[in-house]
């Protein structure tokens, strides 16, 4: 008799311009590694994973269970190309999730792709994972993101002053934000 929990189905979400799906081992290739080694892509993303190789990234993918450790690849629906990643770490006990976005293709910067894809993830977490609060952080140097977050309903929860040392940016404040499930 098996006592293992049933497998969680892979996640598949659609937005008008993007398809979001669970990352697979087939996604961990040289292009995937380039994303993490590209200073422009990773400028506002922590922690630094640039030194990891294919096997270490594969181990990260294998650790994802689509319940509490979620890693989604963002696919441009028009071209079929992978353009980024969304991550969520879900704490079921407290009903919250910590999220982050890596938008790897500069062609998708400045066109509200982060808002569109994060919204799909957020709605999925609220509806399917019983999350009541989503948290994320933004470096102080990311002025554009800090300026637009209130438009998406993000609430500031404070600032960790001079908290992180970021290559190319120096010592950074870390701004903490949250979004709450509608009642």
Q: What is the pLDDT of residues 131-160, one digit of tens each?
A: 999 999 988 988 888 988 888 889 999 999
| Domain 12-131 belongs in CATH node 3.40.630.30 | yes
Q: What is the pLDDT of residues 5-62, one digit of tens each?
A: 556 789 999 999 999 999 999 998 888 778 877 776 666 666 666 666 678 878 888 9
Q: What is the pLDDT of residues 96-110, one digit of tens each?
A: 999 988 888 888 888
Percent of the chain whose predicted confidence (pLDDT) is above 70 = 88
- In the block, tokens 């008008």 appear at 16
pTM of the full structure: 0.86
SS3 assignment for 89-142? EEECCCCEEEEEEEECCHHHCCCCHHHHHHHHHHHHHHHHCCCCEEEEEEECCC
Give SS3 for 167. Answer: coil
- pLDDT of 144 reads 86
């Amino acid at each position: 008799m098996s006592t293992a929990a049933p497998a969680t189905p892979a996640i598949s979400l659609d937005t008008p311009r993007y398809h979001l799906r669970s990352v697979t081992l087939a996604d961990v290739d040289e292009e995937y590694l380039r994303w993490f080694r590209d200073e422009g892509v990773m400028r506002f993303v922590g922690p630094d994973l640039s030194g990891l190789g294919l096997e270490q990234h594969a181990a990260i993918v294998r650790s994802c269970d689509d319940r509490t450790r979620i890693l989604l690849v963002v696919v441009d629906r028009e071209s079929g190309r992978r353009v980024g990643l969304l991550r969520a770490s879900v704490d079921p006990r407290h009903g919250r999730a910590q999220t982050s976005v890596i938008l790897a293709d500069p062609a998708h910067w400045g066109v509200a792709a982060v808002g569109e894809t994060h919204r799909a993830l957020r709605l999925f977490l609220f509806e399917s994972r019983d999350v009541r609060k989503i948290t994320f952080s933004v470096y102080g140097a990311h002025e554009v993101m800090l300026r637009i977050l209130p438009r998406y309903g993000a609430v500031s929860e404070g600032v960790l002053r001079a908290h992180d040392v970021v290559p190319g940016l120096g010592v950074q404040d870390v701004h903490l934000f949250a979004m709450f499930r509608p009642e």
